[in-house]
Structure 1
Amino acid sequence: MSTPQPPLLTPEERLALEQKARYDRLTRNLAIGGAVLCPVIALMPPRKLDLYTFSLGIGFYLSADHLAQQYNGRSLFQQIRWSSPVKELPTEKAKETSRILKKREEAERARRDALSGNAGQKEGRPWWNKVWMGEEEEGWKERRLKEEKRALEEGKTYTTIILDQIWEVWSWEKKKGGKENEGETREKKE
């Protein structure tokens, strides 16, 4: 048996293949260097978030993307998008099991909310809204305006209203004890 011989290449084709191999080797080495050096340079003092740091981050991403593209033929973005979980379950038994598990999770969540007293809160609020607004409910602006109007009618100034609001935010843990204690503590400090 004879081994198959590679097709004979013309000198121009051989030169083109050598140049392509050299180019691929150079870009791979540059990508490895960029993937290592860009984060190192970005972490060197002075560390600040500016256009220079942003450009180093882009250099790191492009280097890592090039290496991923060479390694498995897909870019990082494609890998992230394709690594999403399976949307359709394969069999009816798997679908039924998934339905049962979802019902159990919902029942457990409802039981936990009922025990903690959070049953009346909205489940659909996004996390950033929960962080930004805290436990405030709808209509908080109207309540604040009524409190402000009442305070102005009592003879308070805007300065005292602002200081009261700052104190309310500062002593949020002490609010659980009651508003009478909060007022007494504030009067002692004044």
Structure 2
Amino acid sequence: MASGAHPGTAAPDDQAERFLKNSAIAGAVICPLAMLLPPRKIDVRFFVLASTFSLSTSHLAKVYTGESLYARFQRRANGLVDSATGLPPEAQRTQQLLREHRAAQAAQKQRQADEEEEGRRKAGLAKVVDDVWMGGEDKDWQKKRLEEHQRSFAEGKGMTGIIMDQIADVWSGNWRPDAKKKADGETTADEAKPEKKQ
């Protein structure tokens, strides 16, 4: 006998367990009888009594068997789901591994797509910066410029004349690529308008 314990008194945990067990027995007996009393209709009173009956019987099942009704129902439902697949545990493990492998492949593909998109975005940004830096000229602008200079020299112009022509092109806006197209024969909207008679 433990020191300080009086004979005939139980520990607080035992008292609580005994109280819960007795309450569960009372609930399992009284609730169905109360449901049979008039008025016999499905309302809030019925659901409260049914819930109390369910909790009471589940607690009693746990006290006597070690497993509550809800845990037993969940275990059996999981067993039905596992048996519905009809696969042994090894096959289920293989399926799980295949699912994980597919998920890893999908993640890798998504990562590659993101990297490609980032590369395209950087390449587009680099092209814009390159276009701004080059002033709208192509990569072979030096070769074209050399040919223009040779033609100008063949026409008898000097280096000063070539520089003055380039300054005039910049001043008038003819240095832009769209201005070259206009010079090659395209007409602007203002040039295409018919002249008004006065």
Tell me whether the two structures share a fold, i.e. TM-score over 0.5: no
Q: TM-score, normalised by structure 2?
A: 0.36
Q: Which has the higher helix share?
A: 2
**Which structure: larger Rg?**
2
